[in-house]
């Protein structure tokens, strides 16, 4: 972002500059966050953002969309080629509306759908009961994990045979292992269900050949366009050849569910940025990037275990790692997340399988390597990061949450006030800053 040299510049510009500095000086481990290239970012503030384009290419409700049509068609064509699919919709505003659109297209109110339980690493939009669109308007059946913290495919099959879902979702948000799309497809075929693959987290790995593709097995594939894909904050819905063979009208149903059922006009600047990101994903450098994500994840996982920290499933097969902190006390992920932030490393507290505490005070930390890989960090930096995390955990390991809810809130309020001045954590932060500042926010 260019600096605003006006002495009376808006407060917002100052805050943005401070945020950019924060990102440069800290290390980001949130697995759903990433940086995009200058080319991707440049079109997000272009004149495209001021144009209405409700409808689809050649079928708009506003005039003056000749260039917008060409941009959207080009985005579709690039993604069709990249993923080898016959149809793509690039208009969803983000992953949650995209999943909702697929569900709206394929299900009627009260129909049964299956998805991985939130507590097992699934996403809210995969049928989490009561509080979500999918959980309130459809009949959600949730599957879980086996004793090794991996998806229990036999349980998935038995639940499918019992409940006869119309839609099965294969997707995760906090799951460090490979998804077996072939097994999901076999189960879906056995009960006549649609299979939706939500690959939002692993799209970049799929493109790079570091994770199996769902395209030969799923009827519909949904993905966000940031995370490991390194594009803008948006989403895409892919209709596969298998999907069209099951339902020749599937693409049309998806289109109508996105617009006009759930959204208004598309964000044209995002569509253009998706097209740019798709072009970048076709380059050999992107495959190298995806491979390095995996190398970094393996190196970080091994280093964390070397430091004595317990990992869910004993490691990772993708970009994501779940640290199990129950040996230090139930709900300890909350304190560690706050303390890591003070120490210059930001991640997110997260539930672990069979969480003994609650989603508000979880016992785990979810971390990932897409962002640090984008910055150019490699295995040596992963070892340093693991050592810093271990030092944070060791420094605050006696800070146990009270059992009573009100007492917990008061404890955490005081804990956060106290640790921002903690000399040990600030010493780590200075070390982190020295290393992080050597790496740009984006590099090929």
Q: Find where tokens 């991996």 sit.
A: 150
Which listed residue (33, 54, 180, 422) is catalytic? 54
Query: What is the residue-wise DSSP string for 108-127?
Result: -TT-EEEEE-GGGT--GGGT
How far is Cα 207 from Cα 189, in angstroms, rounded to an integer? 26
Is 54 marked active-site?
Answer: yes
**Can 233 be counted among the known catalytic residues?**
yes
On the 0-12 / 13-18 / 19+ scale of CB atoms within 10 A, 50 is exposed
Active site residue 381: no
Q: Which of 25, 33, 51, 52 is catalytic?
A: 52
Q: How far is CA 361 from CA 174, 226, 346, in A?
A: 16, 28, 17
Measured from the Cβ of residue 443, the count of other Cβ atoms closer than 10 Å reads 13
Q: Could you say which of 125, 224, 334, 373 is catalytic?
A: 224
78 noted as active-site residue: no
- Selected catalytic residue, list 227, 230, 253, 349: 227
Going through 79-228 in order, the beta strands assigned E by DSSP cover: 87-89, 112-116, 139-143, 167-171, 194-198, 220-224
| Rounded Cα distance, 322 and 350, in Å | 8
Give catalytic status of residue 289 as yes or no. no
Q: What is the dihedral of CA 96, 98, 99, 105, to 10 degrees?
A: 140
- Is there a catalytic annotation at residue 154? no
Of the residues 72, 74, 103, 198, only one is catalytic, namely 198
98-115 per-residue burial string, b: 16 or more CB within 10 A, e: under 16: bbbbbbbbbbeeeebbbb
> Could you give the CA distance from residue 108 to residue 105 in angstroms, rounded to a whole number?
8
Identify the active-site residue in 150, 183, 233, 287: 233
Q: CA-CA distances (angstroms) from residue 254 to 78, 99, 242?
A: 19, 10, 15
- Active site residue ranges: 52, 54, 198, 224, 227, 233
């Amino acid at each position: 972002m260019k600096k605003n040299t006006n002495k009376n510049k808006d407060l917002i510009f100052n805050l943005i500059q401070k945020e950019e500095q924060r990102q440069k000086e800290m290390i980001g481990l949130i697995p759903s966050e990433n940086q995009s290239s200058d080319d991707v970012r440049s079109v997000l503030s272009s004149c495209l953002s001021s144009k209405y384009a409700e409808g689809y290419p050649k079928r708009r409700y506003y005039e003056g969309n000749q260039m917008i049509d060409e941009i959207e068609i080009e985005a579709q064509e690039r993604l069709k080629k990249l993923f080898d699919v016959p149809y793509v919709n690039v208009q969803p505003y983000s992953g949650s509306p995209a999943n909702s659109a697929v569900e709206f297209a394929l299900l009627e109110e009260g129909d049964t759908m299956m998805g991985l339980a939130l507590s097992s690493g699934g996403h809210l939009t995969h049928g989490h009961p009561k509080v979500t669109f999918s959980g309130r308007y459809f009949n959600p059946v949730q599957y879980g994990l086996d004793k090794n913290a991996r998806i229990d495919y036999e349980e998935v099959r038995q639940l499918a045979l019992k409940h006869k879902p119309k839609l099965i979702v294969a997707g995760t948000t906090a799951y460090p292992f490979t998804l077996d799309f072939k097994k999901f497809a076999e189960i879906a075929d056995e009960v006549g269900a649609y299979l939706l693959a939500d690959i939002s987290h692993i799209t970049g790995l799929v493109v790079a050949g570091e994770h199996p593709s769902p395209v030969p097995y799923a009827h519909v594939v949904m993905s966000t366009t940031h995370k490991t894909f390194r594009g803008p904050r948006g989403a895409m819905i892919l209709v596969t050849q298998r999907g069209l063979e099951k339902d020749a009208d599937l693409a049309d149903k998806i289109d109508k569910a996105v617009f006009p059922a759930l959204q208004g006009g598309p964000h044209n600047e995002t569509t253009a940025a998706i097209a740019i990101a798709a072009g970048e994903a076709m380059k050999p450098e992107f495959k190298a990037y995806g491979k390095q994500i995996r190398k970094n994840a393996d190196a970080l996982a091994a280093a964390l275990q070397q430091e004595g920290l317990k990992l869910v499933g004993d490691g990772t097969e993708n970009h994501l790692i779940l640290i199990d902190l129950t040996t230090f006390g139930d709900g300890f992920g909350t304190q560690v997340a706050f303390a890591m932030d003070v120490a210059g490393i930001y991640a997110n507290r997260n539930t672990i399988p069979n969480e003994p505490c609650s989603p508000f005070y979880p016992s785990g930390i979810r971390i990932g390597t897409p962002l640090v890989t984008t910055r150019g960090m490699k295995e040596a930096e992963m070892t340093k990061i693991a050592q810093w995390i271990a030092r944070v955990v060791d420094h605050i390991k006696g800070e146990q949450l009270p059992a009573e809810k009100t007492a917990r809130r008061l404890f955490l309020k005081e804990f956060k006030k106290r640790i921002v001045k903690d000399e040990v954590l600030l010493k780590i932060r200075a070390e982190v800053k020295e290393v992080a500042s050597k790496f740009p926010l984006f590099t090929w």
